[in-house]
Amino acid sequence: MAPDTPLQLLGGLTPREFLRDYWQQKPLLIRQAIPGYQSPISADELAGLSLEEEVESRIILEHGDQPWELRRGPFGEDTYQQLPERDWTLLVQAVDQFVPECRELLEQFQFLPSWRIDDLMISYAAPGGGVGPHYDNYDVFLLQAEGRRRWKLGQWCDSDTALLEHDELRILAGFEQDEEFVLEPGDMLYLPPRLAHYGIAEDECLTFSVGFRAPSASEVLSHFTDFLGQFLPDEERYSDLGCAPTQDPHQIQRDALLRLKGLIDRHINNEQLLMTWFGQFMTEPRYPELVGGLDIELGECFGALAEGALLVRNPSARLAWSELDDGVVLFVSGLSRRLDGELRELLKLICSADIFYLDNLAPWLDNDEALTLIHELVKQGSLEFANDE
């Protein structure tokens, strides 16, 4: 995507300007980011999704059994008949994985890495509905798809900010309102992480949230060191070869700490392993159970392609690729595969195309490594035959 072309989606800013001046820093209200936007899903269809076993959904009622009652889906047919007229919200996660037309919206955000995008959450709110004043640790774009919603923006928060006593929801105990605006269909609000916000439906409304993934420092360190640990032999240990005689045997001296630091530094700075871990971590599917594989032989797989079958990307799979010192690597749904640099263009195609068939795979069909890769992606479930049920 051209970084210096002004985008309507960003209110006329170029991606470069938006990333420099707003991204992760300050909110941006964009009137008519997508003029005439028509929601590809109706409120009834969204409620229908919330009945499905594999769909993650929640209902939040402001005045339920307790203030801000949280109910978790899947819901029953009767759930919606029993809800009050107002002041509740239904939230459905990862609608992009279940409704192809909703997935198209994410294509507008290609000025950001796809592996940073987590999911498209869609909320339906009855009049007055909202999820309470809160902050998120992630960036979010909130596109108003139907009806009007009043957004109030408040203070910057962190883990010391006081919350209401609630077992499951993180609702702010105090909201210090700064700005407020009413969003109409097609308007969009960008919010950086940790900014307090409170959206209240003026009338029945649908709001689309494009949410991002960012591991916490604690996750990075604990998961990466677990990953590194797998490659370290048990005999590699803290060593004090050449140490001086102790002065006080009960004291841990600084030289011991420096040896320990040497041990950590020797491994923690391995960029190739860090890249491998990071790619695997960022492509972990939100719902791994939806990336189910197909038990198929290589010959059968390419035989089907030769007969005109189409392969499509599993909407629950996540893909990314990267350069390594000695080749390229494909990250796919939490796994990584190192490949010869010759396959770079195939990796780019696998990450970007929606559909694969004999013609667009043709340049690689006489390369065994490429055939094995495609076969593995089908067996693993990240690529699927289009009509395979």
In the complex with Co ion, the residue whose CB is nearer, 172 or 347, is 172
Report H helices in the chain: 15-21, 43-49, 100-103, 217-229, 254-268, 271-282, 298-306, 344-352, 358-361, 368-380
Residue 136 interacts with ligand SIN (CB under 6 A): yes or no: yes
Minimal distance, residue 52 CB to ligand SIN, in Å: 19
* Own/partner long-range contacts of 5-14 (Cβ < 8 Å, ≥24 apart): 7/111, 8/32, 8/33, 8/34, 8/35, 9/33, 9/34, 9/108, 9/188
The residue among 89 and 333 lying less far from ligand SIN, judged by its C-beta, is 89
The residue behind tokens 């109030």 is: 152
Contact window for ligand SIN (CB under 6 A) among 42-50, 129-137, 257-265, 339-347: 129-137
Which listed range, 7-15, 128-136, 244-252, 318-326, lies at the site for ligand SIN (CB under 6 A)? 128-136
Residue of 207, 276, 314, 336 that binds ligand SIN (CB under 6 A) = 207
| Closer of 166 and 344 to Co ion (Cβ) | 166
**Binding partner of 146, given Co ion, ligand SIN, none, CB within 5-8 angstroms per partner class:** none
Which does residue 123 touch among Co ion, ligand SIN, none (CB within 5 to 8 A, set by kind)?
Answer: ligand SIN
Q: Are 52 and 77 in contact (CB under 8 A)?
A: no
Using CB distances below 5 to 8 A depending on partner kind, what does residue 285 bind out of Co ion, ligand SIN, none?
none
Task: Please state, in angstroms and rounded to a whole number, the distance separating the CA atoms of residues 112 and 115.
Answer: 9
Of 111 and 124, nearer to ligand SIN (C-beta) is 124
Among 75, 99, 145, 197, binds ligand SIN (CB under 6 A): 197
Confirm or reject binding of residue 171 to ligand SIN (CB under 6 A). Answer: no
**Residue facing ligand SIN at closest CB distance:** 123
Tokens coding 345: 């263009």
Q: Which amino acid belongs to residue 78?
A: D
Return the structure tokens found at 336: 């990584």
Q: Does 380 bind ligand SIN (CB under 6 A)?
A: no
Which entry of ligand SIN, Co ion, none binds 207, CB below 5 to 8 A by partner kind? ligand SIN
Q: Which of residues 248-307 bind ligand SIN (CB under 6 A)?
A: none
Q: Does 58 bind ligand SIN (CB under 6 A)?
A: no
- Is residue 209 a contact point for ligand SIN (CB under 6 A)? yes
Among residues 89, 93, 283, 333, the one that binds ligand SIN under rule CB under 6 A: 89
CA distance 87 to 83: 10
Which of 9, 47, 131, 196 is close enough to bind ligand SIN by CB under 6 A?
131
Smallest separation, CB 119 to ligand SIN (Å)? 12
SS3 at position 109 = helix
- Residue 333 binding ligand SIN, by CB under 6 A: no
**Nearest of 164, 155, 176 to residue 131 by alpha carbon:** 164
Which tokens hold the place of 272? Answer: 């190739």
In the complex, the residues that contact Co ion under the rule CB under 5 A are 136
Q: Could you say whether residue 140 binds ligand SIN (CB under 6 A)?
A: yes
Of residues 50, 57, 93, 123, which one binds ligand SIN by CB under 6 A? 123
Omega prior to 133 cis, within 30 of 0 = no
Nearer to ligand SIN, 131 or 343 (CB): 131
> Which of 108, 124, 129, 141 is closest to 57 using CA atoms?
124
Burial of 319 (0-12, 13-18, 19+ CB in 10 A): buried
Which partner in ligand SIN, Co ion, none is near 144 (CB below 5 to 8 A by kind)? none
Q: Is 72 exposed, middle or buried (0-12, 13-18, 19+ CB in 10 A)?
A: exposed
Q: Read off φ and ψ for residue 278, nearest 5 degrees.
A: -65, -45
Residue 93 partner contact from ligand SIN, Co ion, none using kind-dependent CB cut-offs of 5 to 8 Å: none
Rg (alpha carbons) of the chain, rounded to whole number: 25
CB of 43 to Co ion, least distance (A): 20
Residue numbers at the binding site for ligand SIN (CB under 6 A): 89, 123, 130-131, 136, 140, 197, 199, 207, 209
